Amino acid sequence: MAGSELPGVDLAPGGAADAPQGALVEGDRYTSLLSRAESLEGDLRKALEARELAQRELHESQALARMLWAKARQRDQELAKLRGRKRKRRWGAHWLRWRRM
């Protein structure tokens, strides 16, 4: 394989002027492959940026959900506390009515 790590691909004997010396493929094919590689790199870059954006949005949403959950828990605890106080008052009023009889 004359220095190539790709099976079935031999070094081009001279190639086009835009192909670097010792390229694995010749002229037009080199240009086509180079263009495809650059296109794939651009697609990868866009995908990575989209992933980072999605991760940021996910983290922001998770933080918002945690904050809302904490507020809901706090509200529920305060309501439970108030309900407990009402029960004590009712029981106290009931006790007073019974004693007056």
Residue 83 three-state SS: helix
Instruction: Give the pLDDT of the chain (101 residues) as one tens digit per residue.
Output: 344 444 444 444 444 455 566 656 677 888 888 899 999 999 999 999 999 999 999 999 999 999 999 999 999 999 998 888 766 665 555 555 555 55
Helix (H) or strand (E) holding 8: none
Cβ-proximal residues to 31 (8 Å cutoff; 6+ apart), any chain: 16, 18, 19
Show me where the domains of the chain are located: 10-101
Q: How far apart are CA 80 and CA 88, in angstroms?
A: 12
Q: Give the Cα separation of 44 and 50 in Å (integer).
A: 10
Distance CA 32, CA 40 (A): 12
